[in-house]
Structure 1
Amino acid sequence: MIAVSALLASVQAQAFSLDDVTARAKALMQKPYIAPVSNLPPVFSQMQFADYQKIQPRRDKFEWRDQDTPFKLAFYHQGMQFNTPVKISEIVGNNVQEIKYDPQDFDFGNLSFDSKVTSKLGYAGFRVLYPINRAGKEDEIMSVLGASYFRVIGKDQIYGLSARGLAIDTALPSGEIFPRFTEFWIKRPAPQDKQLTIYALLDSPRATGAYQFILKPGADSVVDVQARVFLRDQVNKLGIAPLTSMFLFGPNQQVNKRNYRSAIHDSNGLAIHAGNGEWLWRPLNNPQNLTVSTFQIENPKGFGLLQRGREFSRFEDLKDRYDLRPSAWIEPQGNWGKGKVELVEIPTADETNDNIVAFWTPDEQPRKGVPLKVDYRMHWTMDEPALHDKDTAWVKQTFHTAGEQTQANLIRHFDGSTALMVDFEGPALANLPGNASVGSQVSVGDNAELIDSVLQPNPVIKGYRLTMRVKIKDPQKAVEMRAALVSDGKTLSETWSYQLPPHSGAYATY
């Protein structure tokens, strides 16, 4: 019995794990950084996106096609900016073997090139397929492509915002560095497995890292992340659990060009659940100049870029279906200590650019050679209310418009002020007794004067609407505003924390 136990322990010790990747990341950190060199011939490096999309994996060549598992793997071909190969290996028991590149795995459509040029190319990334919507249908549920980017979806969702492994020096004058996943190890799932384990090695001039991702498909797909980050050189800003999204316009920042859509965005706000229990909601903007907002938070309970209010009528877009794009919620595991959630908003003229970034940055960085250990769970969901404490109301939507008053003749008069209307909803409001006294707490920064605020029930959503009118003092400067609902000294809602960017009006121009 002792011999058998020792043998089992020996076999288990040999199994590939996060510790193996961590050892590689530490060893890599101790060596000078070697920048990847493109191996693409011009026919692939100079192709347009429409041509790159023609290169599709062949379904009959999916990895694990002949295995008894609902999971399948498919690969991205190199092309355009995806110009250096990533190494992808499969873990089967205690064996690790590289999945070799084979051009026969791809359908190149009508692209014309010398087939010999593909022989030395490789994979740019991979996709995970799983029958999430109905049995027997292989739905793509995870995409890993480019730097350390990846996207995940759940049942009835389509791709929207992205996650990243790590962000370095985002929005700093020195320029951002984009760490890159250079190697992956994927554990072949057993027939009964409902999750997929992926390991990744990250490299960059400033940091290396080891990652374990456990993907659990479902109505809300969940990814459990364990990250071990080593600093190789000076990092001015370290972004943990970064999310990248797009916000072009919405009711809080309308567009003055004719557009049948009232909103175009993958996310419309940053939500934060602070360590002290406070909830914050920051509606997103598409500013005229780069804007960075910082929220000092100790031991955050969660944060994420959300798509609140996903009725189809908000978007009316049958092609891009913004109403089906998920929110991403980061749920830290353990104490993260002192730090801040940072929101970066970048001007964009169209919806093809991801112009929103949010991440956690610790106040203290690890010493060289000592890994920063960060664990968290990612929720990819369309059920945003489920993320919230039922005892706390949340912001349903924000409207930004020209301030107005109704004159004695009932004609509306626009008085040059700026108006914000905020709808609050949730069980905390719907279940209030009829005689409950509900009020609001509103504050504005030094660059604005609060002319008035009016709170009224909104029976349509069984909540309340808060209308505020402000006079901006200097249009060249931003205005910070905060508001929350209260009753008998108790806070009923999350804190609406909004910024009117410089030059902000009721409409934006692009």
Structure 2
Amino acid sequence: MTKVRLLSAAVLMTLFTSSAWAFSIDDVAKQAKALADKGYEAPKSNLPSQFRDMKFADYQQIQFNHDKAYWNNLNTPFKLEFYHQGMYFDTPVKINEVTANSVKEIKYSPDYFNFGNVKHDADSVKNLGFAGFKVLYPINKADKDDEIMSVLGASYFRLIGKGQVYGLSARGLAIDTALSSGEEFPRFREFWIERPNPDEKHLIIYALLDSPRATGAYRLDVYPGKEASVDVQAKVYLRDKVGKLGLAPLTSMFLFGPNQPSTVMNYRPALHDSDGLSIHAGNGEWIWRPLNNPKHLSVSQFTMENPKGFGLLQRGRNFHQYEDLDDRYDLRPSAWVEPKGDWGKGKVELVEIPTADETNDNIVAFWTPDQLPATGTPIDISYRLHFTRDEDKLHSPDSSWVSQTLRSAGDVKQSNLVREQDGSIAYIVDFVGPALKSLKPDTPVASQVSMGDNADLLENSVRYNSVTKGWRLTLRLKVKDPKKPVEMRAALVNGDKTLSETWSNQLPANE
């Protein structure tokens, strides 16, 4: 009887120990806190010069051997592939696998890669590390593994859903973006990826972030599908004071579009990963800010409390809006940040940086809180990231939104019916959505417009758009000083009822 009792106690102890062990964000937070309590140590590169000095075309030749995908021989829908170091991806990141009872580093091996025509000394790369990783999952066909997530460089990561192609990126953290002191780019230095079960529908990734003035622990719950979504939980520790802390940052590209046409002849009507910043403020207001490629750095702030969401969206979904068969901007996802809990008082900030080509990400949007905790006290933040092409579903069914913003030289129709330019600038803004579609064409829809003091409003007219079943707003304005930007806001109303989101536009300085 005593032996049975002893055996039962041993079995129970084993079961208890097994069920009690679990890797969590707290394990990463302990490391982040320990890092924050000591001085920053810059990462050291172990990359041979022939890899550091290579051109992008050479780096692209280094391809992962798909037959050696991690978890390839396991009964799981998820697989991992890895990025080789090269160019400015010259610092290794440590990648670990978490199982039910252990944590094991995934060791680098050159056998994972095909090097193409890249000449290298085999001994010089045998002890390198990975630059990042990819996540594979069958989202388009059940028997085909699709790349759904890319994690490479600093704290950047990108996701795509069914039928999408890569576009904008998310980041773990942004520090001092657009400040004259220069931006600091925190990096994910180590990852822990949970081995998924055979029937698992999501993947759990932990990450340790490090930079001269901040550390952080992150948990990313990745959900693939028609739209990709990520539940982000983060604990950020500040080592020192920062000028501006950007939480839930998004990074995108805008070169030109109908609201800011190309300055040189181009067969493509638009070239951008995102065409606007959308905000759902804590007071319920929806705001749409068309993006610009300004001649000078531009920073716009939207002050609010407890935002309900914000994101960089690609509202143009028709191929003919881009005419690009190679880069398929019409298939690039929008990214929407859905906060969890109250974020308090702060600002959604939009940074627009001049760029001459589409290779530079020149758009950044993030949340910056008004108050930061003392050094060593964690900032806890949680949110869900949506990578989607169903932008209309972000809105409530009783609202309407801007479908396009067109910019043109302003003109006036003369008595002989010939249009004559008068030196003004015209904006044509189309509003669509359920709140408008349900109205009769003769409904007295009007506009509420405000204009900054650097322009005179010459025309403000609204008319029914029989093609879209919405309403079209036409504004014509005369700029006073082209060296200064012009701010303008507009919304559609019917009496005292607001029918649309707020179009919050900026005409950049022209000199």
Q: Give TM-score, length-normalised by structure 1.
A: 0.97
Which of the residues 194, 199, 205 maps onto 2:212? 205
Match of 2:386 in 1: 379
What displacement does 1:125 show? 0.2
Which of the residues 175, 192, 197 maps onto 2:199? 192
Q: Write the mapping of 1:281-292 to structure 2, written as runs, cut at 5 A.
A: 281-292=288-299
Alignment deviations for residues 350-387 of structure 1 (CA, whole Å, 9 cap, x no partner): 00000000000000112122110000000000111011
Which of the residues 349, 360, 371 maps onto 1:364? 371
Which of the residues 297, 308, 315 maps onto 2:315? 308
What displacement does 1:436 show? 2.9
What displacement does 1:115 show? 1.0
Alignment deviations for residues 434-459 of structure 1 (CA, whole Å, 9 cap, x no partner): 55321110110111111111100111
Q: Is 1:336 the equivalent of 2:382?
A: no
- Following the alignment from structure 2 to structure 1, what is the Cα–Cα distance between the partners of residues 264 and 203? 46
- Following the alignment from structure 1 to structure 2, what is the Cα–Cα distance between the partners of residues 474 and 453? 21
What displacement does 1:291 show? 0.3
Q: Which amino acid aligns with 1:454?
A: S
- Following the alignment from structure 2 to structure 1, what is the Cα–Cα distance between the partners of residues 59 and 330? 27
SS in 2 for 1:21: helix
Q: Number of residue pairs matched?
A: 504
SS in 2 for 1:51: helix
- Following the alignment from structure 2 to structure 1, what is the Cα–Cα distance between the partners of residues 26 and 456? 56
- Following the alignment from structure 1 to structure 2, what is the Cα–Cα distance between the partners of residues 125 and 51? 18
Q: Is 1:58 the equivalent of 2:65?
A: yes
Q: Which amino acid aligns with 1:188?
A: R
Q: Which moved further from structure 2: 35-44 or 351-360?
A: 35-44
- Following the alignment from structure 2 to structure 1, what is the Cα–Cα distance between the partners of residues 93 and 356? 32
What displacement does 1:9 show? 4.8
What displacement does 1:341 show? 0.3
Q: Is 1:45 the equivalent of 2:52?
A: yes
Q: Which amino acid aligns with 2:469?
A: K
What displacement does 1:136 show? 1.1
Q: Write the mapping of 1:115-126 to structure 2, written as runs, cut at 5 A.
A: 115-126=122-133
- Following the alignment from structure 2 to structure 1, what is the Cα–Cα distance between the partners of residues 227 and 240? 38
Which of the residues 400, 406, 414 maps onto 1:407? 414
**What are the ranges of 5 or more consecutive residues in structure 2 without an aligned counterpart?**
1-7
Match of 1:11 in 2: 18
Match of 2:474 in 1: 467
RMSD, matched Cα: 1.3
Q: Which amino acid aligns with 1:302?
A: G
SS in 2 for 1:52: helix
Q: Is the 8 A contact 2:441 2:464 kept in 1?
A: no
Match of 2:4 in 1: none
Q: Which amino acid aligns with 1:130?
A: Y
Match of 2:5 in 1: none
Q: Which amino acid aligns with 2:385?
A: M
Alignment deviations for residues 371-413 of structure 1 (CA, whole Å, 9 cap, x no partner): 1000000000011101111211100000111110110111110
- Following the alignment from structure 1 to structure 2, what is the Cα–Cα distance between the partners of residues 9 and 366? 38
Identity of paired residues, percent?
65
- Following the alignment from structure 2 to structure 1, what is the Cα–Cα distance between the partners of residues 342 and 18? 33
Match of 1:449 in 2: 456
- Following the alignment from structure 1 to structure 2, what is the Cα–Cα distance between the partners of residues 501 and 369? 40
What displacement does 1:8 show? 4.7
- Following the alignment from structure 1 to structure 2, what is the Cα–Cα distance between the partners of residues 74 and 457? 52
What displacement does 1:309 show? 1.5
- Following the alignment from structure 2 to structure 1, what is the Cα–Cα distance between the partners of residues 498 and 370? 29
Q: Which amino acid aligns with 2:374?
A: R
Q: Which amino acid aligns with 1:279?
A: W
Q: Give TM-score, length-normalised by structure 2.
A: 0.97
- Following the alignment from structure 1 to structure 2, what is the Cα–Cα distance between the partners of residues 2 and 221? 45
Match of 1:350 in 2: 357
Give 4+ residue runs of structure 1 displaced > 4 Å after superposition: 1-9
Q: Which moved further from structure 2: 204-213 or 426-435?
A: 426-435
Q: Which amino acid aligns with 1:191?
A: P
**What are the ranges of 5 or more consecutive residues in structure 1 without an aligned counterpart?**
505-510
- Following the alignment from structure 1 to structure 2, what is the Cα–Cα distance between the partners of residues 162 and 3? 50
Q: Is 1:160 the equivalent of 2:167?
A: yes
What displacement does 1:433 show? 3.8
Which of the residues 299, 302, 310 maps onto 1:295? 302
Q: Which amino acid aligns with 1:411?
A: V
Alignment deviations for residues 461-508 of structure 1 (CA, whole Å, 9 cap, x no partner): 11011000111111111100000000120110000000011117xxxx
Match of 2:77 in 1: 70
Which of the residues 200, 224, 241 maps onto 1:217? 224
Q: Is the 8 A contact 2:333 2:388 kept in 1?
A: yes
- Following the alignment from structure 1 to structure 2, what is the Cα–Cα distance between the partners of residues 498 and 170? 22
- Following the alignment from structure 2 to structure 1, what is the Cα–Cα distance between the partners of residues 52 and 402? 45
Alignment deviations for residues 103-122 of structure 1 (CA, whole Å, 9 cap, x no partner): 00001112111111111211
Q: Write the mapping of 1:235-246 to structure 2, written as runs, cut at 5 A.
A: 235-246=242-253
Match of 2:106 in 1: 99
Q: Is 1:491 the equivalent of 2:498?
A: yes
Q: Which amino acid aligns with 1:332?
A: P
Alignment deviations for residues 64-108 of structure 1 (CA, whole Å, 9 cap, x no partner): 010001110000000000111000000010210000001000011
Q: Which amino acid aligns with 2:244?
A: K
Q: Which moved further from structure 2: 9-18 or 331-340?
A: 9-18
- Following the alignment from structure 2 to structure 1, what is the Cα–Cα distance between the partners of residues 257 and 85? 36
Q: Is the 8 A contact 2:109 2:127 kept in 1?
A: no
